[in-house]
Amino acid sequence: MDQILTHNFKVMNAARLNAYLGRDGYRSIQKIFGMQPEAVINEVKASGLRGRGGAGFPTGTKWGFVPKNLPLQPVLCINADESEPGTFKDRAIMERDPHLLIEGIIIAAYAIGAHEAFIYIRGEYFRPYLILQAAVAEAYETGFLGNNILNRGFKLDVTIHRGGGAYICGEETGLITSIEGFRGYPRLKPPFPAVKGLYGRPTVVNNVETLAALPYIINEGAAKYASVGTEKSKGSKLMSVAGHVNKPGVYEIPLGMPLITFLNEYAGGVWKNRKLKAVIPGGSSVPVMTAVEARDTLLDYESTAQHGTMLGSGGMIVMDETADMVMALKVLSDFYHHESCGQCTPCREGTGWINKILKRIIDGQGQKDDLEMLLKIADNMVGRTICVLADALAMPVKSFITKFRKEFEDRIKG
């Protein structure tokens, strides 16, 4: 498999423009200017590229939702607010190959007819911010951004917007609200951002990894990109793996790779010669898997769904046989309770109740009905809020208790 996203990761000074140009950087820009925007959209549709931020929605289809011939000009927003615990693959792109992201931004903006793009970067990502800022400045200086890109009559301005450290702003409408200067509350849909988004304009929100795949698709063709992966999950995927493994880090894999193969051959296997106990395959918000479930799971959207979880953002968290599943769930509940924006009652109150009950269990004061109460609260959170932050805690709660119930019962019994 070609290294679609990571081919520059080990190149000296790859974040600088000269190094990027020396490896055919920005080659796709000349090609798209010889294509109609609709042809670019169709090429991305044919590639099968799906959003890599977690939802997995087809990218070209998403672009096609932008209405044509509207008086308000479309705008592109780049979601670089990578705040999901266990996920750090977008950071790798911004630090090691920022011009690949900028090239992808130009392709997407041209396809949807946008002349403004906003990169919303996580506030805590200070080093990636500085590297990305320098790359954007280089792109302006050399004519890859600005009023007349490569003298081809296309204008694009890119603004980097630093977030204030709110996980909720990773949700696309919360991100839009934050850029507008308001508190980062998610919005009810419809209207969807493609119709009415940033400043009331048609808006497309794409993730960093999604956009970074575009230059390869344009340069090499949709068919070659689609030849990687599975029938429905095409292309490659960045996996960030952390926890009880010998080689934590960011790795590019073809979609459809067996989870155990990835764990053993890329992440070096479970550390200290211990046994695998549990895996969270797609970031902290997706249901946990047991070691038995992991054995026959493929790392693609369909296989993970068949096993009752999600590929999500590709943030894998590995736990060995010594892991305390009660404490692990308590740590997750601390995060989601803290990060709830408080707009929706089921989320605001539900995350708080879950956190209090888990704390009670951890403190040795658990009650016999606590587990059923936790499951009932989780059921009443799923699908009842504006965004899916409530679901992001409810799904781990249900899966942890269902699959590792004896640990919770033993803790309650003392």
Residue ranges and CATH numbers for the domains of the chain are 17-226 (3.40.50.11540), 236-320 (3.10.20.600), 325-413 (1.20.1440.230)
Element (H, E) at 207: strand 203-207
Distance CA(340)–CA(338), nearest Å, equals 6
pLDDT tier at 282, thresholds 50, 70, 90: very high
pLDDT score of 55 more than 90: no
pLDDT computed for residue 56 by the predictor:
87
Label residue 365 left, alpha or beta by phi (over 0 means left) and psi (-120 to 50 means alpha).
alpha
Per-residue tokens: 88? 């750090």
What's the mean pLDDT when you consider all of the chain? 96
Distance CA(283)–CA(315), nearest Å, equals 4
Provide, rounded to the nearest whole percent, the portion of the chain with pLDDT above 70. Answer: 100
DSSP string over 268-324: -SBGGGPPEEEEE-SSTTSPPEEHHHHHT-EESHHHHHHTTS--TT-EEEEEETT--
3-class secondary structure per residue, 343-390:
CCHHHHHHHHHHHHHHHHHHCCCCCCCHHHHHHHHHHCCCCCCCCCHH
Q: What is the pLDDT of residues 202-243, one digit of tens each?
A: 999 999 999 999 999 999 999 999 999 999 999 999 999 999
Q: What is the pLDDT of residues 303-321, one digit of tens each?
A: 999 999 999 999 999 999 9
Q: Contact, 234 vs 217, CB < 8 A? A: no
Provide φ and ψ at 33, rounded to 5°. Answer: -70, -15
**Peptide bond before 191: cis, by omega within 30 degrees of 0?**
yes
**How many Cβ atoms are within 10 Å of 199's Cβ, its own excluded?**
12
Distance CA(391)–CA(384), nearest Å, equals 9
pLDDT tier at 125, thresholds 50, 70, 90: very high
- pLDDT average, residue stretch 349-371: 96
Going by C-beta distance under 8 Å and a sequence separation of 6 or more, which residues neighbour residue 402? none
